[in-house]
Amino acid sequence: MHKKTVIGAYVEGIIYPNPPANLYNEIKAAGWTNIILSMYHVDITGNISFNNHRIVEGGNYIGRPEWPTLIADMKAGSKITSISASVGGWGVTDFAHIKAIYNANNKSFAGTAMQENFRCLRRNFRAIDTIDLDCEETYDQPSFVAFCQMLIDIGYDISFCPYTFPSFWVNALYDLETYKPGAVKSWNAQCYIGGAPNVPRLWVNAIASAMPKFNTEGFIISGDRCRVPGRPDTTDCPAEVASRLRDFAGPYLGGGFIWTIDHIIKHQNDTASDCGKNVRMEDYVNAIADAFVTKQIKATNGLSWK
């Protein structure tokens, strides 16, 4: 039996600190099941920022006081069952900072300011259940795995957001599966921009080669970038998102995600669209859902997913 289809989206600076009126209600009503808040950053002293806004320092939450409640309310009366905080991204130095903190503390995070700051994040944002690791620099396995272990011990689930370097991610998964089986819930595979050539099946093959007994059913969530006007070469309309997901179909595929809500909102009221109409969040939600309805029909008819 397949897990419930994940219909996810990353959301960046549009959500904090000055969201448009009614944004939270629009996100709740769109039909997403997983919202990934991006990007969280760690500085060299272990303080935590959301994009360019520091929110945790010295073990204290210093962000807008209403934000934890707004995040928690996203799950109320909606289909959203999981909210993630994504650490890292392109063109940043978060994992270099994490490595430096690890090495300076005798290859441990115990007792560090960073550890206390993530404990504070957990206390204040109970609705955030998962930390999403978007490592795109400083691929240092010892500090990366130790960082994940620290997060697991604090009470978080883990997801990976890979776009390259399969051996790094597979080796990290192996170590964490040994540490706490099942702690890594999914991989949000980037199949756009730098990860455009990615095929989920090849990531699963890499896992299966190193970890033959690991259950990859529904483990890969395949990502695509929403259409940005004038960029048809690197972005997709809802119909193209659905088509790619159908092409990727396999028992290992557990859903899809979109990068990003910010871009959807920015262009949803444009007077012209490359997609033939102005598209909204619901159009991408429906595209992902429809692709998996088709996949289930194929399965029922006994057609091969390979």
Contact 7, 288 (CB under 8 A): yes
In a domain, 89, yes or no: yes
- Indicate the residue type of 11: V
In a domain, 305, yes or no: no
Q: What is the CATH number of the domain that holds 248?
A: 3.20.20.80
Residue-wise pLDDT for 59-107, tens only, equals 999 999 999 999 999 999 999 999 999 999 999 999 999 999 999 999 9
Classified as helix, coil or strand, 60 is strand
In a domain, 176, yes or no: yes
Could you tell me the two tokens for 283? 């159009």
pLDDT above 90 as % of the chain: 88
How many domains does the chain fold into? 1
Strand extents, DSSP E, the chain: 6-11, 34-42, 48-50, 53-57, 60-61, 82-88, 128-134, 157-160, 184-190, 220-225, 253-259
Residue-wise pLDDT for 112-166, tens only, equals 999 999 999 999 999 999 999 999 999 999 999 999 999 999 999 999 999 999 9
Residue-wise pLDDT for 262-278, tens only, equals 999 998 987 777 898 88
In a domain, 11, yes or no: yes
Model pTM greater than 0.75?
A: yes
Q: Structural domain of residue 79, as residue ranges?
A: 6-300
Rounded CA gap, 290 and 161, in Å? Answer: 23
Q: For residue 286, which of 31, 17, 46 has the smallest C-alpha distance?
A: 31
In a domain, 1, yes or no: no
In a domain, 122, yes or no: yes
